């Protein structure tokens, strides 16, 4: 088994002899990371999501095994909080110490001096369980229609991004796009066509986000994007791109072409270490209430300098879309959009008239 495909585990002990012994016994099947104390181990756990199991001694300097176990179990990151933690106990650890470790959430115990058979058996069992748990959690975070992350995934990523933003002192922007009057749209189009609209919107949004951004279908008619380090202006540019691609998602109802009615909100909270996902959610809910009152086409930001104005005269059908519909044998849809098409062509027609007049004058 090559090193890259091996599962990772962390062995924490202030004894160099014990760390070397663990590496020798487990190294053939696992990528063994080692730490000298709980403080070092906690840093490694926070920055290495591939760790699938932790073995920890109890008596260590700087941060002992009890404190490490408590930090892991109380972590806001569900992946960290659910890590199997195997407590390595020595002769000096009495029944009271073991009971305390169990109370704090210790998964299992192994006694010193340990042998390779016992150590490997525990490592295999708990690493396999953790991998299965991660796979189930991953599946539970996926929206079955769009294959984007769902609301659970969004909260997971939001928690991580807020912590990272606080550490690196940059502003995280959150953008929500909601399809207005979704129930009415569902009645008009039916489930199959509505699902197709949602799927196309998801694909369009996926095409305009950056690699570091996170996109989720946060509710039935709502998509949320996390934009790390984008700030208010970066969020504004994203919204402009998102609205541009969403304009192509016009659909027909009773022979008329209609544009997808969207409401957009932008929230860029101030940077501080104590900001929790729930606070961001409450701010978004309050903004969304205001945006819904203003109706379809509203783009609302909590930063006054980045609020976008929506062009109400924007066409519901572009020239390119009209050509596609005509070729598909659907002239009624084009006829219903003639005023918009005429407005688009007006500048060109005016320019052509002027050009013809100039030629006649010559």
If phi > 0 it is left, if psi is from -120 to 50 it is alpha, else beta; for residue 171 that is: beta
Q: Say which residues have a Cβ less than 8 Å from residue 233's Cβ, sequence separation at least 6.
A: 306
Please state the pTM of the whole predicted model: 0.55
Over residues 187-244, the pLDDT tens digits come to 888 888 889 889 999 999 999 999 999 999 999 999 999 999 988 889 999 999 999 8
Query: Residue 362 above 60 pLDDT?
Result: no
**Residue written as tokens 């940059």?**
170
Q: Say which residues have a Cβ less than 8 Å from residue 128's Cβ, sequence separation at least 6.
A: none
Q: How many other C-beta atoms are found inside a 10 Å radius of the C-beta of residue 113?
A: 8
pLDDT of residue 10: 96
Query: Residue 337 above 90 pLDDT?
Result: no
Token readout for 250 is 């016009």
Task: Identify the band that residue 173 occupies on the pLDDT scale cut at 50, 70 and 90.
Answer: very high
The answer to which of 9-23, 74-88, 203-217 has the lowest mean pLDDT is: 74-88
Query: Residue 135 above 80 pLDDT?
Result: no
CATH of domain 151-314: 3.30.70.270
Q: Which residue has the higher pLDDT, 215 or 79?
A: 215
Token readout for 84 is 């199997």
Query: Residue 255 above 70 pLDDT?
Result: no
pLDDT of residue 349: 65
CATH architecture of structural domain 3-140:
3-Layer(aba) Sandwich (3.40)
**Residue written as tokens 């189930």?**
136
Query: Residue 4 above 70 pLDDT?
Result: no
CA dist 92 and 167 (Å) reads: 39
Query: Residue 309 above 50 pLDDT?
Result: no
Query: Residue 261 above 90 pLDDT?
Result: no
Token readout for 255 is 């022979």
Average confidence score pLDDT of the chain: 83
H/E element, 251: strand 251-253
Q: What is the mean pLDDT of residues 40-55?
A: 92
Q: Is 347 exposed, middle or buried (0-12, 13-18, 19+ CB in 10 A)?
A: exposed
The alpha carbon dihedral of 85, 90, 95, 100 has a sign of negative
Over residues 87-125, the pLDDT tens digits come to 998 867 778 888 888 899 999 999 888 888 999 999 999
Task: Identify the band that residue 246 occupies on the pLDDT scale cut at 50, 70 and 90.
Answer: confident
Provide the residue ranges of all domains of the chain, joining segments of one domain with +. Answer: 3-140, 151-314, 322-362
CA dist 109 and 106 (Å) reads: 8
Task: Identify the band that residue 70 occupies on the pLDDT scale cut at 50, 70 and 90.
Answer: very high
């Amino acid at each position: 088994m090559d090193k890259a495909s091996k599962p990772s585990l962390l062995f924490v002990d202030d004894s160099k002899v014990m760390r070397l012994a663990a590496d020798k016994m487990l190294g053939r099947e696992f990528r063994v990371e080692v730490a000298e104390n709980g403080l070092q181990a906690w840093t490694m756990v926070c920055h290495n999501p591939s760790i699938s199991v932790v073995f920890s001694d109890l008596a260590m300097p700087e941060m002992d095994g009890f404190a490490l176990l408590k930090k892991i179990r109380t972590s806001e990151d569900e992946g960290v909080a659910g890590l199997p933690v195997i407590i390595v106990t020595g002769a000096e650890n009495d029944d009271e110490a073991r009971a305390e470790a169990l109370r704090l959430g210790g998964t299992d115990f192994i006694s010193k001096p340990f042998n390779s058979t016992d150590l490997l058996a525990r490592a295999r069992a708990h690493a396999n369980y953790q991998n299965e748990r991660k796979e189930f959690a991953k599946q539970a975070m996926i929206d079955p229609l769009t294959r984007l992350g769902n609301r659970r995934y969004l909260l997971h990523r939001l928690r991580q991004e807020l912590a990272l933003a606080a550490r690196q002192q940059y502003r995280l922007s959150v953008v929500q796009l909601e399809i207005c009057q979704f129930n009415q749209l569902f009645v008009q189009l039916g489930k199959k066509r509505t699902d197709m609209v949602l799927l196309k919107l998801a694909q369009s949004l996926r095409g305009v986000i950056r690699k570091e951004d996170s996109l989720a279908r946060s509710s039935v008619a709502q998509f949320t994007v996390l934009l790390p380090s984008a700030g208010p202006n970066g969020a504004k540019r994203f919204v402009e791109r998102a609205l541009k691609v969403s304009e192509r998602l016009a659909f027909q109802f009773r022979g008329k072409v209609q544009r997808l009615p969207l409401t957009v909100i932008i929230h860029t909270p101030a940077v501080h270490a104590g900001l929790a996902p729930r606070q961001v959610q409450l701010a978004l809910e309050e903004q969304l209430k205001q945006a819904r009152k203003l109706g379809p086409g509203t783009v609302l930001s909590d930063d006054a300098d980045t609020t976008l104005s929506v062009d109400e005269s924007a066409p519901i059908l572009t020239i390119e879309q009209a050509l596609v519909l005509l070729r598909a044998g659907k002239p009624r849809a084009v006829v219903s959009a003639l005023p918009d098409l005429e407005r688009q062509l007006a500048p060109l027609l005016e320019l052509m008239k002027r050009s013809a007049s100039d030629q006649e004058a010559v």
